[in-house]
Amino acid sequence: MAKSYYSMVLDHPADDVWAVIRPFDHYAWAGVESETVIEHGKAGDQVGAIRRVTSGGRVLRQILLAHSDTDRFYTYGFCGAPPFPVQDYVATLRVTPVVADNTSFVEWWATFDCAAEERDKWVNHFEKEGFAKWLAALRQFMAKQQGRGPRRNLTSAVRPVA
Amino acid sequence: MAKSYYSMVLDHPADDVWAVIRPFDHYAWAGVESETVIEHGKAGDQVGAIRRVTSGGRVLRQILLAHSDTDRFYTYGFCGAPPFPVQDYVATLRVTPVVADNTSFVEWWATFDCAAEERDKWVNHFEKEGFAKWLAALRQFMAKQQGRGPRRNLTSAVRPVA
Amino acid sequence: MAKSYYSMVLDHPADDVWAVIRPFDHYAWAGVESETVIEHGKAGDQVGAIRRVTSGGRVLRQILLAHSDTDRFYTYGFCGAPPFPVQDYVATLRVTPVVADNTSFVEWWATFDCAAEERDKWVNHFEKEGFAKWLAALRQFMAKQQGRGPRRNLTSAVRPVA
Amino acid sequence: MAKSYYSMVLDHPADDVWAVIRPFDHYAWAGVESETVIEHGKAGDQVGAIRRVTSGGRVLRQILLAHSDTDRFYTYGFCGAPPFPVQDYVATLRVTPVVADNTSFVEWWATFDCAAEERDKWVNHFEKEGFAKWLAALRQFMAKQQGRGPRRNLTSAVRPVA
């Protein structure tokens, strides 16, 4: 199984990080200059929603396959061929609390298939050119946001009531 | 951990069963006479959606906590106090394909807390008076539906494209 | 991700099925004529144990990577190159109770990498020539065994006491 | 569901931490003065093994319920009544790599049942008097060990070869 995996600790509570990344149509935090819209008027936390990311003249379409507010993760794949020569690319982004100091552990991974001789290349590519950079951008995004005021309020809207 | 668990094999493909049960606002298949609406115009596959089930003059409110089209499950809890003396009730309903004969394995479980001396009572209650009956009703619902024509088409809308 | 998956319902309680398949050095149930020994005197439920399967003059070595008596599964991989041109083959065999009629749901899956043009071939091969046949053999094994007396006793040794 | 959960980041690679904690009969790292032996000559990575912890004149017996070298976790419960008034106590200890800086994320949690009015008390107790302290002791243990030489070699023995 070709699998790329990256993880990082962020200096913010898990609920705060989740509040930022949980909407599937919010992608500004990843530091990718793009316009992201959800097709057909669906919501950013609606499983089956397709987001259309326009970046540098290129258009990507990704579908939300799973979303959990209990385990703070979402899973997505591509609609149609992905923009690199791999198949069955499915990725998950998850946030878990680090209780000891009220920070968070963020993981991003993808499984996919590709030509056998290109496996190491793509495993590395997604980890280093993708997940590592986007999570570094998320760290910056969280830091800036903190300067702008508390995020805690956001969280209350999305936490389980049960 | 107080946990109730029930499971059953249904004579229908997993995708067909999932197509029926996946909308959080569809509850007719469970054989409970009720009116179910989702609050605030949210969708039945939108995590965070609250369904309001009116049955026999009683109103229940339940929130969708997680939903996965890849693993065909959804998880929900109660908003406010549940209609029985238990706490932190969280339930999951999941469908898995039985490849050998193209049928499906359906599981329903809940975890919760309650008075120690009532634990066995409630574990049994949810299993036998809840999950077992609702899944038996689902079996009937699927059987009747089959008589009304193919369900396969429904499925195509909700399967991962990735 | 190249993944082979097969599942089947067996007419025996999950604990009975698990009692038969749980020892990593017991492989007779799979209908493969072979001699299976665990290297270095390790036990069949010891994670890290390596089994040496000699069958038709060929020798396979497989390592036990995970084992769970709570979820009734074990996971294994190959030591050295597997006997087919795939990489990173890791397989899991799991048993879950079908509560409704006290039978069991048995799943067997593997993830691996291989040449892109051979993916469908190997996905199919493991499902149909491997898991499907071995589980059919397990069904026969369980049926014969039943004739020879109760298996329930075996189970008590391996169930959680907690 | 009564659940206690604690997590911490340790300044050591996940494989090094796992190499220390993976033997069920090694408990010195937790900072509890005790003598720990496995009954009946079983191994510390053998599922079903029972460890007998003698500490301050008290004897605890715990059974290994699951162990995974792929996901670096083990799960255990009590044999007989636990030394506190709770039921069905089952705990898991897991290590995950923090790829960004080659450290590790360690989680320890337990689920159990108890008297309703004592739930908060025990949830807190296991988190703060148990997991938090034992993981703090593990941190110290790892720090001291580092002074004594490399641990990497240990790891090679337990990592999947597949």
Residues C15-60 have pLDDT tens digits of 999 999 999 998 889 998 889 999 999 999 999 999 999 988 899 9
> Average per-residue pLDDT in chain B?
90
Answer whether residue D139 shows pLDDT above 90. yes
pLDDT of residue A108: 98
Q: For residue B160, what pLDDT band results from cuts at 50, 70 and 90?
A: very low
- With contact defined as 3+ CB pairs under 8 Å, the chains touching A are B, C, D
Least confident among A51-55, A135-139, D6-10:
A51-55
The answer to whether C114 and C86 have CB atoms below 8 angstroms apart is yes
Least confident among A56-60, A121-125, B124-128, C115-119:
A56-60
Decide if A100 and D7 are in contact by the 8 Å CB cutoff: yes
pLDDT of residue D157: 37
Q: What is the pLDDT of residues C131-145, one digit of tens each?
A: 999 999 999 999 998
Q: For residue D151, what pLDDT band results from cuts at 50, 70 and 90?
A: very low
Answer whether residue A37 shows pLDDT above 80. yes
Answer whether residue A153 shows pLDDT above 70. no
Contact list, A114 vs chain C (CB under 8 Å): 116
Q: For residue B26, what pLDDT band results from cuts at 50, 70 and 90?
A: confident
Decide if D1 and B115 are in contact by the 8 Å CB cutoff: no
Q: What is the mean pLDDT of residues D113-130?
A: 96
Helix (H) or strand (E) segment spanning residue C8:
strand C2-10
Give the one of B45, B65, B162 whose C-beta lies nearest to A69's C-beta. Answer: B65
SS (H, E, C) chain A: CEEEEEEEEECCCHHHHHHHHCCCCCCHHHCCCCEEEEHHHCCCCECCCEEEEEECCEEEEEEEEEEECCCCEEEEEECCCCCCCCEEEEEEEEEEEEHHHCEEEEEEEEEEECCHHHHHHHHHHHHHHHHHHHHHHHHHHHHHHHHCCCCHHHHHCCCCCC
Decide if C115 and A115 are in contact by the 8 Å CB cutoff: yes
Higher pLDDT, D96 or D161: D96
Decide if A119 and C111 are in contact by the 8 Å CB cutoff: no
pLDDT of residue A81: 84
pLDDT of residue B45: 96
Higher pLDDT, B19 or C152: B19
State whether residue C63 sits within 8 Å of chain D by CB: yes
**Which ipTM was obtained for this model?**
0.89
pTM: 0.91
State whether residue A44 sits within 8 Å of chain B by CB: no
B53: left (phi over 0), alpha (psi -120 to 50) or beta: beta
pLDDT of residue B146: 74
Among C3, C65, C113, pick the best mutation site for testing chain A contact (most A Cβ within 10 A): C113
Give, rounded to a whole angstrom, the gap between the first and last alpha carbons of chain B: 37
Answer whether residue D161 shows pLDDT above 50. no
- With contact defined as 3+ CB pairs under 8 Å, the chains touching C are A, B, D
> Average per-residue pLDDT in chain D?
90
Higher pLDDT, B155 or A75: A75
Answer whether residue D154 shows pLDDT above 50. no
Question: B30 CA to chain A: closest CA distance, Å?
Answer: 21
Q: For residue A125, what pLDDT band results from cuts at 50, 70 and 90?
A: very high
Q: What is the mean pLDDT of residues A38-62?
A: 94
Decide if B2 and D1 are in contact by the 8 Å CB cutoff: yes
Give the one of A1, A90, A115 whose C-beta lies nearest to C111's C-beta. Answer: A1
Decide if C2 and A113 are in contact by the 8 Å CB cutoff: yes
Q: For residue D159, what pLDDT band results from cuts at 50, 70 and 90?
A: very low
pLDDT of residue C36: 93
Q: Please count the CA atoms within 13 angstroms of the CA of A78 that sit on its side-chain side.
A: 15
Q: For residue C148, what pLDDT band results from cuts at 50, 70 and 90?
A: low
Q: What is the pLDDT of residues D69-85, one digit of tens each?
A: 999 999 999 998 899 99
Decide if B115 and D111 are in contact by the 8 Å CB cutoff: no
pLDDT of residue C32: 87
pLDDT of residue C158: 40
Residues of A90-113 as b/e, b for ≥16 C-beta within 10 angstroms? bbbbbbbbbbbeebbbbbbbbbbb
- Beta bridge mates, B80: none
Answer whether residue B61 shows pLDDT above 60. yes
| Alpha-carbon span B146 to B144, nearest angstrom | 5
pLDDT-above-70 percentage for chain A: 90
pLDDT of residue D150: 47
pLDDT of residue C88: 94
